[in-house]
Amino acid sequence: MIRILATALLALCLTASGAFATSIDELVIVDGLWYERFTDVPFTGEVDEGRHRGTIKNGTRVGPWVAYYVDGRLWYKGAYKSGKQEGPWVAYWENGRLRYKGTYKNDRKEGPWLWYNEDGTKSSPTATYRNGEKVSD
């Protein structure tokens, strides 16, 4: 009997502490905030199952995020600040070659951006952005 109660108590503690990661597939976006399905409280916790990995706090993405293709190859990596893309971002084609790289500031492209074709050649000239607006090639 004590063994059963101890097991149940341990399971309850682990669940309540958020010891288990959540899959992005278990979350939904409502009015720009992430929620666990069938709840009305914005989600806070780690997304560390499946193809997406990162942190959500009070319904918004924060800190570093990465995503992977089905075969496990890196798809993209970057960071969020208060739910907005911030800092350097890179993305890769399924074959592992660089797809694009650039920087975000407050969810807008900022500075030089480079794009590449699947074969590794540049797909277009470098473009420079200010506040998300293209200012030069």
Domain that holds residue 105: 69-137
Residue 50: inside a domain, yes or no? Answer: no
Under the banding of pLDDT at 50, 70 and 90, the label for residue 2 is low
For residue 83, being part of any structural domain is answered with yes
In a domain, 13, yes or no: no
User: What's residue 137's pLDDT?
Assistant: 77
Residue 131: inside a domain: yes
Q: How far apart are CA 107 and CA 83, in angstroms?
A: 9
What integer pLDDT is reported at residue 22 of this predicted model?
Answer: 87
pLDDT given at position 136: 86
CB atoms closer than 10 angstroms to residue 43: 20
Count up the domains in the chain and report the number.
Answer: 1
Coil, helix or strand for 79? strand
Task: Answer whether residue 34 is part of any domain.
Answer: no
**Which of the two residues, 17 and 60, has the higher pLDDT score?**
60
R_g of the chain computed on alpha carbons: 19
Q: Is the pTM of this model over 0.75?
A: yes
